[in-house]
Amino acid sequence: MTKKDLPKHVYFDRGYVRFIRRARGQSVMMKEQPGTPEFWDHYNRLLKGREPIPSKRNFESLILSYYESDAFKKLKPRTKADYRRYIGHIRTIWGAKDPAKIEPHHVYELHRANAEHWRQANYLVQVMVVLMNHARLIGFLKKEHGNPAKGIPLFKQESDGWEPWPDDVRAEFEAVATPRARLVYELCIGTGQRIGDVLKIRWDHINDGAYDFTQGKTDKPLWIPLTDRLKAHLGAVEKKGLTVITDKSGRPVRYRTVAEEMRKVKATMRHPEASKYVTHGLRKNATIELYVAGCDDEMVKAVTGHSGVEMLKKYGGQVRQKVLATRAQEARNRMEQNKSGT
């Protein structure tokens, strides 16, 4: 039996089938054999309305309750998708387990079991914190139990994150890039934004030489004047559609399409390490350029949209420290000169 043989809203799931109707927040495991009278009876009841969440205290019930909560419904689509992915893993291993029996060492072991992929391991712990907070709200955990997922030491990033592109890599990329890859590159450098936001740039977002938009990840409204270099490059770009970056027919382009094109360009380059520099690293290049130009933290944040200084430290790296140290010592020199002049 294939998905085509199943009725609307029904999907295969772990040896059974599941009724999923996201608009109503329904997600119900159906253990009846598809096509049987029992299956159709259950299916018709689900179509008419939501079944009550099972009263049994386990992760299956907790997860279903969380999916119906305002906290989950208010999340952005991308965050919802990420949460569902990691919650699905928790559901698979602990679906029948009572949340009240989860202790810190269980979460710690879960974290360590995924050590090969530190980002995913850390995200699992963060999702567990959210789930266990919800467990307290619906009475699955008592206040004195606390949240067993809080305080779990997360894996530290081994480096300062994505590497900025060196000058020689940038020069070669600019020389061999396809027109669309070069446009993505120029927009990332010129605006300092994430690739997700860059792909959404529309021509009507650009007015009076500035880019006016709301960041997708942070929901932060930003107004960013374009650099002279970016203005010049955009001036030579044909307007095929609503978005600046399009396919041949003028339609918006998906991230995967652009990522694959950027990889292919780097694969043709002579630089031996060209492939290791990813598009997100250009955001770090933009941050560094702002510091080298003499901008302070607030000025940099006004362009990149970073919410705190900690992220700026990661993106600005040693360049940020050098610029700030130089400005600090110059201030001392001026102070000494003023003293000697009095």
Domain chopping of the chain, boundaries:
1-51, 55-158, 173-328
Q: Examine the pLDDT at 338 and tell me if it is beyond 80.
A: yes
Strand, coil or helix: 213: strand
- Element holding 211 (H helix, E strand): strand 210-214
Q: Examine the pLDDT at 114 and tell me if it is beyond 80.
A: yes
Q: What are phi and psi of 271, to 5 degrees?
A: -55, 125
pTM: 0.64
Provide the mean pLDDT of the chain.
89
> What pLDDT sits at residue 274?
95
Q: How many angstroms separate the Cα of 326 from the Cα of each of 2, 195, 268, 285, 338?
A: 66, 32, 40, 20, 18
Question: Which DSSP state fits 243?
Answer: B
Higher pLDDT, 30 or 227: 227
Q: 111, 125 in Cβ contact below 8 A?
A: yes
Pick among 1.10.150.130, 1.20.1560.10, 3.40.50.150, 3.40.50.2000: CATH of 55-158? 1.10.150.130
Same fold, 55-158 and 173-328: no
- Rounded to 10°, the helix 179-191/281-292 angle is 50
Please give the angle made by the CA atoms of 74, 80 and 85, to the nearest 5 degrees.
Answer: 155
Q: How far is Cα 65 from Cα 180, in angstroms, rounded to an integer?
A: 45
Sign of torsion over alpha carbons 240, 245, 248, 254: negative
**Count of C-beta atoms within a 10 Å radius of residue 106:** 15
Q: 302, 193 in Cβ contact below 8 A?
A: no
Report the relative pairing of strands 16-21 and 10-13 from DSSP bridges.
antiparallel
Q: Lowest-pLDDT range, 40-44, 97-101, 257-261?
A: 40-44
> What pLDDT sits at residue 103?
94
> What pLDDT sits at residue 240?
92
Q: How far is Cα 174 from Cα 151, in angstroms, rounded to an integer?
A: 46
Q: How far is Cα 51 from Cα 26, in angstroms, rounded to an integer?
A: 8
Using the structure block, give the residue that is written with the tokens 């079991």. Answer: 113
HEC assignment per residue over 13-55? ECCEEEEEEHHHCEEEEECCCCCCHHHHHHHHHHHHCCCCCCC
> What pLDDT sits at residue 307?
81
Sign of torsion over alpha carbons 213, 214, 216, 220: positive
**Distance spanning both ends of the chain, measured CA to CA:** 92
> What is the share, in percent, of the chain residues with pLDDT greater than 90?
57
Q: Specify the CATH class of 173-328 in words.
A: mainly alpha
pLDDT bin (cut points 50, 70, 90) of residue 305 is very high
Q: Over range 241-257, report the average pLDDT.
A: 94
Q: 61, 54 in Cβ contact below 8 A?
A: yes
